[in-house]
Chains A and B, each alone.
Chain A
């Protein structure tokens, strides 16, 4: 006779099942709410126009542009530094040495810093120290670099996403078989040639995964931008890196708190949030596909 599952087993099965249902319901609720509230506001004009000054009309184009710019600057600044750090840690750092341990724990600590603190650091270091310093050196009468801007916000985000880039790149580099390294060195390659011609090409898709994850994390962050350049309302389209910018995430907050007529704003609010969520979802999806490709055996 087969024993029946004990009460404990059944309770656990029911509890875990309930948790899964809860998670699915939450995701469905978020999307359902955003789509039902925001769906009607989605139109071509919503993507191609600037918001009106009372925030009750218009679209989100400046916020889309600002998000794209800040993300681009973040990527251009953060990825080379992150990948280079990972290359050093995997290919050059003497394992177990003092310096290696210090770098590793620095990366871990960087990952643990709250994002608002990155914002304060960005203001203090990039805007006030570097920016003001540049203004002084260039003899600018009116602050040009010494004010919050998309450039400093992008660099702050780069710092925030650095640990993600480093850790995923490290993982990608470590997955390159040792035989490939030995093969290259035995053929008379220098260490640099080995890294450049053999290790990095084989790690590319893994590194790209990290990059996409970092971008999706960075694109949704608002706190570090508050001090470093994000604007409540700046309808003019500008690609000046020293100017302030609008941002999708921050625009959600602005629509929810700064509008004189909250009911009139709600569809736009939900639609903006929907665009932001879809954006990060899309980026995560790309990361998943890339990751699948990395894991596929050759």
Chain B
């Protein structure tokens, strides 16, 4: 299918090094709109670094060097003169540990809009409600929007972070092991949420859990020791991996 439509994002020979350590080597991958792309692989394989290269978060870490190209709608996001802030407004991110600000629930969701300079209060309130509904959190919090976000449960906090990330209406949403700190029930709710969001957003999900990848992924990419070993349709990659390292991983031989 990848030949039919132009990819939403793609990397070409993307390499990332921190100081002298190369953690990602020559990764070329296409990410398509309306699909959930899962990045899998053992710890330290470079999948999180790859994810963070897609919205230029790696450069916040001292000594990070990125080479190769990362294209968003065909445009290089690392091009000189292009502001990382502009990139991050189009490519949102949700982190492994939920990190709501110690502000009210409403203020958390409205944060990105405020930073983007949206002043109209009614527009902000409407977007807050819309985002919380999309994150399947509205019914649980609609009566306490002014209470601290820190009072929410872990799963609710993570869904709040997703609501916060989609409030600015990014085109791509990156999720870095969003359920690794959640219990099974909360994980299930977040997975449902991911599936419901894929109609409107291009989703890239890093996960440790093969079961999770099998449940939500349309596309999968297997990383090992900083290299992209294999990518393609998720069902095919899980059931008929071509590379023996992929076979070993999805068959549970290492990881």
Residues on A lying within 8 angstroms of B by beta carbon are 94-95, 177, 179-190, 193, 197-198, 201-202, 298
Q: List 15 A-B contacts (CB under 8 A).
A: A180-B99, A182-B99, A183-B100, A185-B60, A185-B85, A186-B88, A186-B93, A187-B112, A187-B164, A187-B165, A188-B85, A188-B88, A188-B168, A189-B111, A198-B101
Q: Could you tell me the distance in whole angstroms from the C-beta of A195 to the nearest C-beta in chain B?
A: 12
A197 lies within 8 A of B62 (CB): no
Chain B residues within CB distance 8 Å of chain A: 55, 57, 60, 62, 84-85, 88-89, 92-93, 95, 97, 99-102, 111-112, 114-116, 150, 161, 164-165, 168
Q: Chain B contacts of A180 at CB under 8 A?
A: 99, 101
Determine the distance from Cα of A94 to Cα of B97 in the docked complex, in whole angstroms.
27
Give CA–CA (A298, B168) in the complex, Å.
27
CA distance A202 to B57 in the complex (A): 22
Is there contact, CB below 8 Å, between B57 and A298? no
* Most A Cβ at <10 Å: residue of B57, B88, B100, B168: B88
With the chains together, A144 CA to B220 CA distance in Å?
77
A188 close to B112 (CB less than 8 A)? yes
How far does the alpha carbon of A179 sit from the alpha carbon of B96 in the complex, in Å? Answer: 10
B102 touching A298, Cβ below 8 Å: yes
CA of A184 to CA of B88, assembled, Å: 10
In the complex, which residues of chain B have a beta carbon less than 8 angstroms from the beta carbon of A183? 95, 99-101, 161
Complex Cα–Cα for A298 and B89 (A):
29
Also in contact, A190 and B95, with CB within 8 A (given A183-B101, A202-B102): no
Provided the pairs A182-B60, A197-B115 are in contact, do residues A187 and B99 lie with their beta carbons within 8 angstroms?
no
Contact of A184 among B89, B111, B116, B168 (CB under 8 A): B111
Q: How far is it, in angstroms, between the C-alpha of A5 and the C-alpha of B98 when the chains are bound? A: 52
In angstroms, how far is the closest chain A Cβ from the Cβ of B239? 34
A177 to B89: give the CA distance in the assembly, Å. 22
Which residue of chain B is the closest to A95 with respect to CB atoms? B62
On whether A187 and B60 interact (CB within 8 A), knowing A182-B99, A197-B111, A197-B115, the answer reads: no
Closest B residue to A181 using CB positions: B60
Additional 13 contacts, C-beta under 8 A, given A188-B88, A189-B112: A177-B99, A179-B95, A179-B99, A184-B101, A186-B88, A186-B93, A186-B95, A187-B111, A187-B112, A188-B112, A188-B168, A197-B114, A298-B150
Tell which of A190, A201, A202 touches B85, judged by Cβ atoms closer than 8 Å: A190
| Chief secondary structure at chain A's binding surface | helix
Docked complex Cα distance between A179 and B100 (Å): 9
Contacts of A186 in B (CB 8 A): 55, 57, 88, 92-93, 95, 165
B57 touches A182 (CB 8 A): yes
Contact B115 A189 (CB under 8 A): yes
Residues of A within 8 A of B95 (CB): 179, 182-183, 186
Which residues of the partner chain A approach B100 to less than 8 Å between Cβ atoms?
A: 183
* Residue ID in chain A nearest B170 by CB atoms: A188
Contacts of B57 in A (CB 8 A): 182, 185-186
A185 to B52, CA, bound (A): 12
Q: Which residues does chain B contribute within 8 Å of A95, judged by CB atoms?
A: 62
- Residues of chain B contacted by A184 (CB below 8 angstroms): 101, 111, 115
Chain B residues whose C-beta falls within 8 Å of the C-beta of A182 in the assembled complex: 57, 60, 95, 99
Provide the residues of chain A in CB contact with B150, threshold 8 Å: 298
Do B97 and A179 touch (CB < 8 A)? yes
Give Cα A196 to B55, complex, Å: 22
Q: How far is the CB of B113 from chain A (nearest CB, A)?
A: 9
Question: How distant is the Cα of A183 from the Cα of B165 in the complex, in angstroms?
Answer: 9
Which residues of A are found within 8 Å of B164, using beta-carbon distances?
A: 187
Chain A min CB distance to B204 (Å):
13
A193 neighbours in B (Cβ, 8 Å): 115
Known contacts A179-B95, A182-B95: A189-B85 contact under CB 8 Å: yes
- Report the minimal beta-carbon distance from B106 to chain A, rounded to whole angstroms: 15
A183 to B57, CA, bound (A): 10
Q: A190, B55: Cβ atoms under 8 Å?
A: no
A202 vs B102: C-alpha distance in the bound complex, in angstroms?
Answer: 8
CA distance A190 to B89 in the complex (A): 10
Chain A positions within 8 Å of B112 at CB level: 187-189
